[in-house]
Structure 1
Amino acid sequence: MSTREEAPETRPPFPPARGGSRPGTRALTDRKPRKRARRGERRELIIEGAQKIFSEQGFSASTRDIAASLGVTQALLYKYFPSKEALIQAVFENRYAHGRFMPDPEILADTSRPLVERVTAFYGALFDFLRDGSLRLFIRAALDGYAAHDIYANELVRGSILPLVEAMRAELSLPPTSERAMSNAEYEIAMAEHGGTVFIAIRNLVYERGPHIEVKDAIAQHVRIWLPGALAEMKRIHADWSEQKPVSEALLQAPGLESVQRER
């Protein structure tokens, strides 16, 4: 196949695909491609495009519609993914597996900064991840009956909840989780902060109604309100440790990616 002319520099980087794709969905082929995508690159582009389509339209979108939106044939789609379920699996793995959706936990471990600054920076970075469509995708998956949470829950605990609990224990000079397993009560303390940030993201990215101050300022405000009470509650929990139950070991294990199937 001969190489076609390079497109002008003024051309938008994500042009509409043949058949009229949504703005922002990059076509894999168009009238004047800059160069032919290699196999691995094309697979990644299909995954990225499918993620956007699923997050906007839901998982009822057909492979025919997905192919048309991406500017490829349905046959090419099936060349890379033997079924729609395989494509959905690849999208979930790309977005949620192996801690890809979590900020670097070293942000929380850096004791050269006050804890309030570390927690604010960590959850500000989490919001930056959620704004690329990952939040909508997760909500769509739950509504359409796909068990994305089977990956998400484990990665959340390992990549966010546990590092936050470790940082809070260090702040209070309490034993690390390697010596005293994280308790269910501590899990709920950390989830209160995580849930607050996620709801700020829902208001901003899903409802598109708020917050009424800058997002990062709202996250910082939430941390300042939450942290003093959280530390006081953690101190109380450890003072009465005999009454506490450890969090389930299953939550601390690496998730089984094969489990992301439709539940209903």
Structure 2
Amino acid sequence: MSDISSPVTDDDKKVRRRLKPEERELQILQGAVKFFSERGLEGQTRDLAKEIGVTHPLLYHYFPTKQALIERVYETVYLGRWTHAWEDGLDDKSLGLQEKLTQFYLDYAKAILTPEWVRILVFSGLSDGYIPDRYLALLREKLFPRIIRETRRHLDLSVRAKITERESELVWGLHGGIFYLGIRCWVYKQGAPEDWEQVIRDRVRAYVVAAEDLFGNAR
């Protein structure tokens, strides 16, 4: 299949008419990911259909509403890259805090620091907020409490006490610093650091050092 950004030829159309329904759906979904990452979620589905090389009615046959398509984009780009292995790794009591956070963020960065992941999240945040609202709820449920719990465990502090704002903000700073690598590269277009893995190691270490002072005084 030719690249979806290339002009659509008669031969392309013949090939596309022979696609199985699941292949056609995947074609539309992949085209939508690319389209929304370049134009934002306010881009029109009619323009999307034209760019992919399908009719507007055919697009709506697979995705009856634009919101249904956006939901599938979210499931594919965001939920589809989340793995329970990350949660298991953070729960592993045999690993030290810095080691497990470094392992997690190195793997997490490889999964999320892509133009479609970063740009769609930003575009959605600037429009209806649907995707960042859902994804940040996931982080608040599955990630941030784990990091705070393991930080407290590392410092021999109670893991049952209510999370303080200072603890939460320190974790946001760590996580946001990783995400910023993608902002710098695919929003500001300034490029990524040559040794981005070392940058992540440094940011995790800075978090652990800061936590030793802040968490103990956060009550």
TM-score bin (small chain)? 0.7 to 0.9
**C-alpha spacing 1:89/1:212, structure 2 compared with 1 (3 Å):** closer
Q: Which amino acid aligns with 1:43?
A: E
Q: In 1, are the aligned partners of 2:41 and 2:120 still within 8 Å (CA)?
A: no
Superposition deviation, residue 35 in structure 1: 9.8
- Structure 1 counterpart of 2:68, from 81, 86, 92: 86
Q: Give the gaps of 5 or more residues in structure 2.
A: none
1:201 aligns with 2:162: no
In 2, Cα distance between the equivalents of 1:101 and 1:92? 15
In 2, Cα distance between the equivalents of 1:17 and 1:201? 24
Compute the TM-score of the two structures, normalised by the length of structure 2: 0.83
In 2, Cα distance between the equivalents of 1:34 and 1:67? 13
Q: In 1, are the aligned partners of 2:63 and 2:69 still within 8 Å (CA)?
A: yes
Higher helix fraction (1 or 2): 2
**C-alpha spacing 1:65/1:102, structure 2 compared with 1 (3 Å):** farther
1:20 aligns with 2:2: no
Compute the TM-score of the two structures, normalised by the length of structure 1: 0.71
Q: In 1, are the aligned partners of 2:4 and 2:31 still within 8 Å (CA)?
A: no
For 2:12, the equivalent position in structure 1 comes to 30
Q: In 2, are the aligned partners of 1:55 and 1:136 still within 8 Å (CA)?
A: yes
Superposition deviation, residue 103 in structure 1: 6.7
When the two chains are superposed, the root-mean-square deviation of aligned CA atoms in Å is 2.8
Superposition deviation, residue 207 in structure 1: 2.4
Give the 3-state SS of the residue equivalent to 2:94 in structure 1. coil
% identity of equivalent residues: 30
1:186 aligns with 2:167: yes
Q: Give the gaps of 5 or more residues in structure 1.
A: 1-13, 22-28, 241-264
- Structure 2 counterpart of 1:61, from 34, 39, 43: 43
In 1, Cα distance between the equivalents of 2:119 and 2:109? 13
In 1, Cα distance between the equivalents of 2:85 and 2:181? 17
**C-alpha spacing 1:164/1:36, structure 2 compared with 1 (3 Å):** farther
In 2, Cα distance between the equivalents of 1:147 and 1:94? 15
